[in-house]
Structure 1
Amino acid sequence: MLKKTISALFVACIMVIGAAAAGTIFPVTRTDIDGVSRSGYLDEEGRTVLSFAYAQAGEFADCGLAAVEDEKWQTAVIDREGRLVIPYTASPVSVDFSEDMVAYRYADHSVYYTLQGELVGSYAGALDFFSDGLLLCKSPASGLYSYVRQDGTAAFEGEYSDAGVFLNGRALVRTTDGAYLAIDTQGQTLYTLEHHITPSYMTIFGTDTVVLSDGTNQALYSLESGSYITDFLYNTISEFHGGVAMVRQANRWGLMDTTGKLLTPPTYYYLSYMGDGLYAARSEDGSAAAVDANGNIAYRTLSYVGGFDELRYGLAWHGTSDGSLIFFKKNGGYFASLKNAENPTLLSENVVRVTQDGKQKYVNLSDGRTLFEQPTSFDLGKGITATTVHYERFFGYQADGSEYGWNVDFPEISGLPDADVQKKINEAIRKFFLEGPSVSAEYEALEGGYGASLEGSVLVVWANCVSGKGAGSSVWNNNLAFDIRTGEQYGLNDLLSSGYVETVKALLPDTHAFYLYSFPRMSTKGVTYYYNEYESETRRAYTESYLLTFEQLQEAVDQSGECYQALKTPFIRETSLTGFRDVPNSHWAAEYIQQVKQDGVMQGDADGLFRPDDLLTGAELCATIARSAALETPDTVLEGVSADAWYAKDVSAMQAAGLLDGLELDFTALISREEAMQVFANLLVGKGSALPDEAETDELLSSISDQETITPEYRAAVALCMQKGLVKGYADGTLQPAGNFTRAEFAKLLTML
């Protein structure tokens, strides 16, 4: 089932996140090879405190609680020890926390609990939390606002076309006939605003201050005195935070308190609230700073790329032009930096989640340690590995300013015994993921990953993604199945006999129309069908899975077919006589590779691979021949070659032995076939052979259709190699002198010298 990309983090906390509590733990998500993402909690040392047992997990709020979700799409609230405070129940759209309550937000109502998990009540259209003992609600039916007590009864008569939350015993409301009033908790009118006055926010700031608009500019107004605190001098007055608002005049920003006093005159080119009394400010000189209400600078930089957003756990960040992230403290000063990192989310006063080097990592900023990172390769068994490849495609920005496009992981398979089969499978997998769900969804957002499993001798790979964003988005979990011995791709028609539809239809639940069951996935147990539900305004996209076992499908299974037989046949890796995983016994050069390995003249790499199809460099050729001929190493290194080069001794020995006569090689580059044949000819001459004369050379090369492309000074060497049977022309009559030898071809040549 899809876990990772079903939704954004669903936990919301209405309080500013401050300093981390003792014993801070934070949520971490891990995606396994089955494609399922599971969440748990780590501490700042990277130790698992709460196991990866949740489908999703949110951050702990200041009240010490967090919301988690299980695989049945139910939500619970837990404490830091993992104890259930509120049991699992139907998942809401979000979970909010205050300092004394928890709210489950559903589409048309909210359910409130105490921090001890006791049910407070369910309220239609509830907004925010109880304040002054009253809860603001907006009727789902009429769209009008009213206030209720905890017992669900109306606080007083009256409904309003707009209303704000009570603060300090007062609330601002708009009656159904358009009048703006300030009322008390009994519903009594305290102040009536003049009919031409329009509040910008339905909030009373401080004791009696409201922000008014004349349609162009804004001003402060005192309810108590019934007079303007300021004139309409400001293009913008923001909401107040801690008694301070941001104000704009023309293209300059400043800060003002509820009495209209300018704490910082409008001098900044940009200003935004970061939290906890700090503001992000951009000055005329292009510098950016974190400042307090009085303009005191907590942190300043002359160069930045993004950041200066929310202050979390006493920290904020900004990017730099070289791709680094700088983290700074609320009280001022540099804290830490990370190179080649992006998309930071602070999770505690020491831990940040970032994307670094293409991987999502959780890093302790105090010491730079990576506490956790998502694995990028998985062992499928039998020596086969799936390595994650990341693909992004940017489409643009949504209305809320967020980017959208494709952000997809897919596997690249390695370790198959047959390199051609492996290449064929990987090409099909890449094509499958880069084409996406359908042509019609090509320009829809696509996010997610993959799953893979080895089922007998069948490799099954599936998408684990969500196509689209918001309402109407859907799960994409289609799959591919390959015979890893041949690379043949299997489909359902290869596994089940004709007429299987009626059998399957009878076995699947009739709770959904049959055509809605999709993307059947084969395994050694049977076939799993999926019902994928679209996301709506009240529900995230989700998947239901239904396994039909081979026992249930017995009448419909083609048990003699190649697909069923492959599923039921465990993959047994052929033991290679060469000892190299990529050189099976069936490889055309297996016996030559086995010989050169036994002779100790050619070796594989650290992964146990010979790489038979890799092309040969000059350095590799020289090192191999020097080793094969047991050449003596001279005291001086060949001119132009660094003494530190791994091949320095070998090429020097080759030069001293006269085996590089007639050649000027770039040892780090690929060596051409004709250059290699010059080396072979030098070796043969050293053993007593004679180069053919011009007439003999012409005769020996007469059968080669591209002999004119042989470099003149190499013609005799090429002719000698042909005379001795070291090389032959290709089936099309060409020799391709400018081409290259593979390691497998070179292994054969070594056994013939």
Structure 2
Amino acid sequence: MTNGWHSGYRLRPAPVYGTVSFPYGGLRITVVALFGQSAAAPRLSANPIGQVRSASASAAARPAAPFLYPVAVKTASGNLWGYIDESGRIAVAPQFDYAYDFQPNRLAIVQRGDKQGAIDLYGRYVVRPIYDSISPFSEGRSAVIDGQGFKVIDDLGHPLTPKPYGYIGSYREGRAVFAERGEDGPSMYGYLDLQGKEAIPARFSEANDFADGKAVVRTKDGEYALIDPDGTTLASYPYAFVGNPGDGLLAFRKEADGKYGYMDEKGNVVIPPRFTGALPFEDGYAIVDTGEDDKSRYGLIGKTGAFVIRPEYDDMNRLGEGRVAVGKAIDPSRPYIGSTYALADTEGRLLTDFRFSTIGEFDRGYASVSEGESTYWIDRGGRRAQNLPALPGSGTMAFDHDLIRADVDQRLSYFDKTGKQVWKPNAAIPLTPPYVVREVKYKPNQDYLVYYPQIEGMTNREAERSVNDRLKRLSAVKPVPPGQQPDASYTGDFAVLFARGKLLVLELDGYHYPFGAAHGMPSKAFVHIDLDSGATYGLSDLFKPGSSYVKRIGDIVRRNIETDPKYSYVFPGSFKEIAPDQLFYVTDDALHILFPPYEIAPYATGFPEFVIPFSELADIVDPNGAFWKSFHGTYQR
């Protein structure tokens, strides 16, 4: 399941993704996170929606409309997102830098530039794109982030919180966890009500979501409590760790370095501590770990503590509908590389052999699986489903209202209930005739995937071949030894960033992820191509020979860092000067200068970007140079 995050095209501004690992109940949970984005101005001047929904209308009164599905389209203005209906027709024109799934309240979060808003099923803004981030709506509320911090809005966009907070979670049962810094430094946690008011003051050092009218909080070191929505203590537990309730049981740990067991909500020990990791019970079963010395051995227990699946697996995931994925390490000496999975039931029976790289959650009696270079569906018995789509490549499929969504090899497509494909991403990007940029896929194994551009329509065929060969090299299309398990994965993609006159600017994105690392490392390259001559231009080609462009640009960047609050994240004293071949790209009226992660700022900020209008460089730009003429002709000062 993708939870609204699509693996399709890399976008401008490019999200910085990575994996985050954190401990819970002795187990290490790994999730994909959005760390940040590089700033960029929107590339569309026209907004086909252009309306804000009246605040006088209530969410419940919104008229019905066909359900819509997000899609990505490669265009000459970049990779843009819009929405289709169930027949595959465009319902909201591609215009967003990212578009998320529609939610139960019939709103979808969209991104324009580096800001997010929310639209309804008619493509009208309900929440203007003014926030740095908007979390999924729950119980008619969303936590948003702006320059001040976290706030709560309702699903008409009305702000509810009277002040910003350091953190606000999602609403569950009328309460949302919030954080504010305590007097002694560490953050303290409390709960907001649906009106955005503090229902329970920030007095806890940890706080979890409510479920069935109860939540686990940590009141101080070595003590947890179970509270009700008013903050009344229902039970206290003098332990180093207490997990969330599940089926009336809570995982606990007496000492910080002790084993895990389970107790009931009154604090009575039901399963004595004997596990090195323990997750909450669900539907009568819980995943536990008995491994030692960082070597996991997962199993499944019932509520008596007896194993129904013996603890002998390197990984284990609940799939729903009474099914579990059990995994064995691809390379036991390097378990961090990942596992191969089999399907099992909650009675301990293996229903398949170990042949899947992924098994999705069950829904309507089926789950999607990836095996080698094929993604298809299986039923609850592990048998291949013949009536559902099967696709080449690795990824996931899921039922999505009236359609089937397929996220395979980082491309998003849709099928109807009969298996007919209703949406397929485009592989050709038309420019000014006769030029076309065509997407080519290179996937020598399941851990190496690159989509790279190839140009068609150039008059000089030899120049075209030379440019295309260079684009392949810059896109990291290279021989990969067959049958060899790599230590890292690599994905690459591209976008048409700018096209005017004879100039084409391509952005080539890469992401190198060493298996087991906290996150990978993104990379970028910008290629400025003259479609007439086949020449590629560097930064120095933009300026008059002998001009001090390095110093001029460096001075402008330094001034921005010192005077513009949006660059407050830059490491103090880290910027010295730009390189003569600094990472850059041009647009119609500006030069964009970028820096790789860590060079002048934290990883989470992505690629810090500085936009310099050409008017500030007018005296050193070379108006007679081939680079400038390729997209502007003669420069007018």
Report the TM-score when normalising by structure 1.
0.57
Question: Cα distance 1:277–1:127, how it changes in 2: closer, same or farther (>3 A)?
Answer: farther
Q: Structure 2 counterpart of 1:348, which letter?
A: D
Question: Cα distance 1:183–1:240, how it changes in 2: closer, same or farther (>3 A)?
Answer: same
Contact 1:96 1:105 in 2 (8 A): no
Q: In the alignment, which of 385, 403, 406 is matched to residue 436 of structure 2?
A: 385
Q: How does 1:242-391 map to 2 (within 5 A)?
A: 242=283, 244-247=285-288, 253-257=299-303, 260=304, 265-266=308-309, 272-274=316-318, 276-282=320-326, 288-289=342-343, 291=345, 295=347, 300-302=351-353, 304-311=355-362, 315-321=366-372, 323-328=373-378, 334=385, 335-346=387-398, 348-349=400-401, 350-355=403-408, 360-364=411-415, 366-391=417-442
Q: Structure 2 counterpart of 1:511, which letter?
A: N
Question: Cα distance 1:100–1:489, how it changes in 2: closer, same or farther (>3 A)?
Answer: closer
Q: How does 1:508-657 map to 2 (within 5 A)?
A: 510-512=559-561, 515=577, 519=583, 521=585, 528-531=591-594, 536=602, 539=605, 541=607, 543=609, 545-548=611-614, 556=620, 558=622
**Within 1, Cα distance between the matches of 2:124 and 2:433?**
41
Look up the match of 1:172.
216
Question: Cα distance 1:542–1:59, how it changes in 2: closer, same or farther (>3 A)?
Answer: farther
> Secondary structure, in 3 states, of the residue corresponding to 2:220?
coil
What are the Cα deviations for residues 422-476 of structure 1, in whole angstroms up to 9, with x where unaligned?
Answer: 333333444444499xxxxxx99774314277755x4534324366789996773
Contact 1:308 1:317 in 2 (8 A): yes
Aligned residues: 524
Question: Cα distance 1:106–1:96, how it changes in 2: closer, same or farther (>3 A)?
Answer: farther
Q: Structure 1 counterpart of 2:544, which letter?
A: S
Contact 2:455 2:468 in 1 (8 A): yes
What are the Cα deviations for residues 624-660 of structure 1, in whole angstroms up to 9, with x where unaligned?
Answer: xxxxxxxxxxxxxxxxxxxxxxxxxxxxxxxxxxxxx
> Secondary structure, in 3 states, of the residue corresponding to 1:511?
helix
Q: 2:158 aligned with 1:118, yes or no?
A: yes
Q: 2:287 aligned with 1:240, yes or no?
A: no
Q: In the alignment, which of 3, 6, 10 is matched to residue 15 of structure 2?
A: 6
**Within 1, Cα distance between the matches of 2:261 and 2:103?**
36
Q: 2:93 aligned with 1:51, yes or no?
A: yes
Contact 2:554 2:578 in 1 (8 A): no
Q: 2:131 aligned with 1:90, yes or no?
A: yes
Look up the match of 2:180.
139
Unaligned runs of 5+ in 1: 13-20, 395-402, 437-442, 571-753
Q: Structure 2 counterpart of 1:90, which letter?
A: Y
1:310 shift after superposition: 3.0
Question: Cα distance 1:445–1:351, how it changes in 2: closer, same or farther (>3 A)?
Answer: same
Contact 1:183 1:189 in 2 (8 A): yes
**Within 2, Cα distance between the matches of 1:252 and 1:152?**
41
Question: Cα distance 1:91–1:563, how it changes in 2: closer, same or farther (>3 A)?
Answer: closer
> Secondary structure, in 3 states, of the residue corresponding to 1:165?
coil
Unaligned runs of 5+ in 2: 1-9, 18-31, 36-63, 292-296, 329-339, 479-487, 563-575
**Within 1, Cα distance between the matches of 2:101 and 2:379?**
21
**Within 2, Cα distance between the matches of 1:164 and 1:454?**
50
Q: 2:253 aligned with 1:213, yes or no?
A: yes
Look up the match of 1:204.
245
1:312 shift after superposition: 5.7
Look up the match of 2:226.
182
Contact 1:247 1:266 in 2 (8 A): no
Look up the match of 2:206.
162
What are the Cα deviations for residues 364-423 of structure 1, in whole angstroms up to 9, with x where unaligned?
Answer: 1633333333333334445343333345699xxxxxxxx98x754433334433333333
What are the Cα deviations for residues 309-352 of structure 1, in whole angstroms up to 9, with x where unaligned?
Answer: 3346774211335x322214579972524142212243615322
1:566 shift after superposition: 6.1
Q: 2:141 aligned with 1:101, yes or no?
A: yes
Q: In the alignment, which of 440, 443, 453 is matched to residue 411 of structure 1?
A: 453
Question: Cα distance 1:160–1:495, how it changes in 2: closer, same or farther (>3 A)?
Answer: closer
Question: Cα distance 1:324–1:148, how it changes in 2: closer, same or farther (>3 A)?
Answer: closer
Q: Structure 1 counterpart of 2:528, which letter?
A: L
Contact 1:28 1:40 in 2 (8 A): yes
1:50 shift after superposition: 1.9
**Within 2, Cα distance between the matches of 1:282 and 1:556?**
63
% identity of equivalent residues? 16
**Within 1, Cα distance between the matches of 2:235 and 2:499?**
73
**Within 2, Cα distance between the matches of 1:135 and 1:392?**
44
Question: Cα distance 1:499–1:354, how it changes in 2: closer, same or farther (>3 A)?
Answer: same
**Within 1, Cα distance between the matches of 2:106 and 2:96?**
18
Report the TM-score when normalising by structure 2.
0.66
Contact 2:475 2:508 in 1 (8 A): no
Q: Structure 2 counterpart of 1:3, which letter?
A: R
> Secondary structure, in 3 states, of the residue corresponding to 1:59?
strand
Look up the match of 1:460.
504
Q: Structure 2 counterpart of 1:341, which letter?
A: G
Contact 1:107 1:537 in 2 (8 A): no
Q: Structure 2 counterpart of 1:227, which letter?
A: N
What are the Cα deviations for residues 226-267 of structure 1, in whole angstroms up to 9, with x where unaligned?
Answer: 53223346565421235643356786733434xx487x8345
**Within 2, Cα distance between the matches of 1:137 and 1:569?**
55
Question: Cα distance 1:274–1:498, how it changes in 2: closer, same or farther (>3 A)?
Answer: same
What are the Cα deviations for residues 529-560 of structure 1, in whole angstroms up to 9, with x where unaligned?
Answer: 445685757655464544527xx876545555
> Secondary structure, in 3 states, of the residue corresponding to 2:418?
coil
Question: Cα distance 1:507–1:515, how it changes in 2: closer, same or farther (>3 A)?
Answer: closer
Alignment RMSD = 4.8
> Secondary structure, in 3 states, of the residue corresponding to 1:305?
coil
What are the Cα deviations for residues 702-747 of structure 1, in whole angstroms up to 9, with x where unaligned?
Answer: xxxxxxxxxxxxxxxxxxxxxxxxxxxxxxxxxxxxxxxxxxxxxx
> Secondary structure, in 3 states, of the residue corresponding to 1:424?
helix
Look up the match of 2:69.
26
Structure with bigger strand share is 2
**Within 2, Cα distance between the matches of 1:168 and 1:447?**
45
Of structures 1 and 2, the larger Rg is shown by 1
**Within 1, Cα distance between the matches of 2:363 and 2:65?**
16
The higher relative CO (CA closer than 8 Å, separation ≥ 6) is in 2
Question: Cα distance 1:10–1:4, how it changes in 2: closer, same or farther (>3 A)?
Answer: farther
Q: Structure 1 counterpart of 2:392, which letter?
A: N
Contact 2:450 2:477 in 1 (8 A): no
**Within 2, Cα distance between the matches of 1:444 and 1:317?**
22
Contact 2:343 2:382 in 1 (8 A): no
